[in-house]
A and B are shown apart, each in its own frame.
Chain A
Amino acid sequence: MREVAIISYVQTPMRRDAGANNDVEMLMPTLQEALSNVGMTHKDIDFTCSGSCDYLGGAAFAFVSAVDALGAVPAIAESHVEMDAAWALYEAWLKIQCGKADTALVYGFGKSSHANLPNVLSLQMDPYSVQPLWPDSISMAALQARALLESGKCSERDMAEVVANSRRNAKSNPKAQLKGDFTVDQLLREPTFVSPLRKHDCCPITDGASVMILAVREKAEKFCKRPAFITGIDHRIDAHGLGLRDLTVSESTRIAGEKAGANKGPIDVAELYAPFSHQELILRDALGLDATKTKINPSGGALAGHVFMACGLDRIGAVATRIINGEANRGVAHATSGPCLQQNLVAVLEG
């Protein structure tokens, strides 16, 4: 196995609406910064892979316009996943493992402000027996939240605590969208939104873009003083039907964590892509995290800002940044896709 590390990561400020700033305009300065942070130009990149969702822009092949930000003349080796960029990172990592590249550029982006995201996500569901009902993503998460509450595995206070922690941690994240000091009691006084979820239990709508650069050890050490090495990475998927699985656990996360070797060492920091507060509790459990030993979502997590299609990459980036800065030695990052944590990726990073 080749040793692959993350050497650079930049994200745009996470905003409710990026206004007159299209995908390419959000990406260009972010790409330039990610490259110049390590003294690279796009000519140093062997392979590029991005993650995005055409349904956010409402146009087939919408992602192709982003290639304008790459300077693709002469032609470059490029690929795309219609998924969160964490999976674009997985593809780039594979490309490097196969020896077809030594460096890779990964990016994720999207303007959720253009679309009605909960409706768009209902299109993920079974086209025969579920999608024609137009079940939005918030309602589906609410079904899971109630199942978790009624199983006794968590309480409404636990969910509110996840939110309070997110808002407080986000205060030290200059890119975060939602931050502040809230008490659990304050949060519990808010009315329900899609019961049992309250508005604050749901991640916000966010526009943004994120860029990351990977390199094999020899190149990584040339461009970066303390690269964050990916010592394990795996992704698994659960059955599609919501009624076919136990929504109070995430088996796919547990297995991915095991295969990635998450618990083979101490976990200084864990960033979990939990778009709904109750899901952070399910994920902590699936990965066997001990909140007294591990900093969980110090960036604020998805609840502090949710660039759909980059949020998973952002969790990996948040852990990588702490390792590169020397604030942590070993961390675990998680990304999810699909309704109610159906598909999950776990990456283990070490300095």
Chain B
Amino acid sequence: MSDEKPMVEGFEAPISLHYTFAAGHAISKFLHSIKEGKIVGQRSPKTGKVIVPPRGSCPETGVPTTEEVTLPDTGTVITFTVIHIPIPNNPIKPPFIVANICLDESDQTFIHLVSDCKNEEVQIGTRVKAVWKDPAEWDYSMDNIKYFKPLDEAPVDIEKLKAERLKAVEKYRHA
């Protein structure tokens, strides 16, 4: 064996697989609605809670959710973090905020961006509103909402918010 050339110690083994993913019933309904600029969650027939985006089941009880609930595009920051690296293919400039947001009248958070604000002023309980893309650009996608922007409202106490929501869904509970 040659002494001049070095021993092979590794090689590149790129993996690439092609998929055609079909959206389930619940998420399809959500995507059809968001294409029209509406955010639609689904309510659990057992707990009465509203889940958005809906995946078809109530995570607490495992039963199908079917009742559609149109939601406002305002909500509350439940928790967040500041990101210092860019997202590929997204115009948002670091540092930017990624937050767990709970929309008004719903009971489960989802992740989205918070922007057009001073990052230091965002806190747990900050009230936010969706900033949408131009309707001409709307597709079957959550990123029809570019980001959420803080509202000129006082931040709320999220424990109080949680308690208020539990009370509000009581009339829909059939546990």
Instruction: From the candidates B27, B61, B62, name the one contacting A22 in the complex (CB within 8 A).
Output: B27
Q: Tell whether A116 is near chain B: CB-to-CB under 8 Å.
A: yes
Q: Could you give, for residues 44-74 of chain B, a 1 whenever the CB lies within 8 Å of some chain A CB and a 0 otherwise?
A: 0000000000011111111110000000000
In the complex with contacts A24-B56, A24-B57, A71-B62, A115-B24 CB distance below 8 A: no
Q: Collect the chain A residues with CB atoms within 8 Å of residue B56's CB.
A: 22, 24-25, 28, 68
Interface size class of B (residues with CB under 8 A): 20 to 34
- Among A71, A114, A116, A120, point to the contact of B21 (Cβ < 8 A): A114
- Cβ of A17: which chain B residues have Cβ within 8 Å of it? 22
A131 to B11, CA, bound (A): 13
Given A21-B25, A24-B24: A69 and B57 interface contact (C-beta under 8 Å): yes
**Among B12-20, B33-41, B97-105, B109-117, the stretch in contact with A:** B12-20
Q: Are A131 and B13 in contact (CB under 8 A)?
A: yes
- CB-CB under 8 A from A318, the residues of chain B are none
Do A55 and B17 touch (CB < 8 A)?
yes
Interface residues of A in 7-55 (CB under 8 A from B): 17-25, 28-29, 31-32, 42, 55
Chain A residue at minimal CB-CB distance from B61 = A71
A73 to B61, CA, bound (A): 7
A-B contacts, 21 of them at CB < 8 A, read A20-B28, A22-B22, A22-B24, A22-B56, A23-B24, A24-B56, A25-B26, A25-B56, A28-B64, A55-B17, A57-B21, A67-B59, A69-B57, A71-B59, A71-B63, A73-B59, A115-B19, A116-B19, A119-B18, A120-B17, A131-B13
- Is the pair B19, A58 in contact by a Cβ cutoff of 8 Å? yes
The answer on a CB contact under 8 Å between B22 and A113 is: yes
User: Are A68 and B55 interface neighbours, CB within 8 A?
Assistant: yes
The reply to whether A31 and B62 form a contact with Cβ atoms under 8 Å apart is: yes
Closest to A131 in B: B13
Contact A68 B22 (CB under 8 A): no
Residues of B within 8 A of A115 (CB): 17, 19
Partner pick for A58 among B17, B25, B55, B63, CB 8 A cutoff = B17
Counting chain A CB atoms within 10 Å of each CB, the highest count among B22, B26, B28 belongs to B22
| A111: chain B residues within 8 A (beta carbon) | 22
User: What range describes how many residues of A lie at the interface?
Assistant: 35 or more
Q: How far is the CA of A111 from the CA of B19 in the complex (A)?
A: 11
Which residues from B are CB-within-8-Å of A81?
Answer: none
**Contacts from B to A (Cβ < 8 Å):** 13, 15, 17-28, 55-64
B24 adjacent to A21 (CB under 8 Å): yes
- A residues within 8 A CB of B60? 71-73
Contact of A20 among B13, B23, B62, B63 (CB under 8 A): B23
The 8 Å CB contact of A28, one of B18, B23, B27, B63, is B63
Q: B15 — nearest CB in chain A belongs to which residue?
A: A123
Partner of A114, one of B19, B58, B59, B64: B19
Q: How distant is the Cα of A138 from the Cα of B57 in the complex, in angstroms?
A: 36
- Complex CA–CA separation, A323 to B161 (angstroms): 54
- Cα distance A127–B14 in the bound complex, in angstroms: 11
**Residues of A173-202 contacting chain B, CB below 8 A:** none
- Is A20 in contact with B58, judged by CB distance below 8 angstroms? no
Please tell me if A241 contacts chain B, counting CB pairs below 8 Å: no
Q: Give the chain A neighbours of B22 by CB distance below 8 A.
A: 17-22, 111, 113-114
Chain B residues near A58 (CB-CB < 8 A): 17, 19, 21
Tell me which residues across on chain A come within 8 A of B26, comparing CB atoms. Answer: 25
Assembly CA distance A29 to B17 (angstroms): 31
What residues on A are CB-neighbors of B27 within 8 Å? 22
Contacts of A20 in B (CB 8 A): 22-25, 28
With A20-B23, A69-B57, A116-B17 already in contact, 18 other A-B pairs whose C-beta atoms are closer than 8 Å: A20-B22, A20-B28, A22-B56, A24-B55, A28-B62, A32-B63, A55-B17, A57-B19, A68-B55, A68-B56, A72-B59, A72-B60, A111-B22, A113-B20, A113-B22, A114-B19, A115-B19, A119-B17
User: A292 on the interface (CB 8 Å rule)?
Assistant: no
- List chain A residues, Cβ under 8 A from B28: 20
A31 and B62 alpha carbons, distance in the complex (Å): 9
**Shortest CB–CB separation between residue A268 and chain B, in angstroms?**
36
Q: Which of A68, A113, A123 contacts B59 (CB 8 A)?
A: A68
The residue that B62 contacts in the complex, of A23, A70, A116, A120, with Cβ under 8 A, is: A70
> How many Å lie between the Cα of A115 and that of B60 in the bound state?
30
Residues of A with C-beta under 8 A to B21: 57-58, 114
Task: Give bound CA distance, A22 to B64, whole Å.
Answer: 12
Rounded to whole Å, the gap between the CB of B169 and the closest CB of chain A is 15
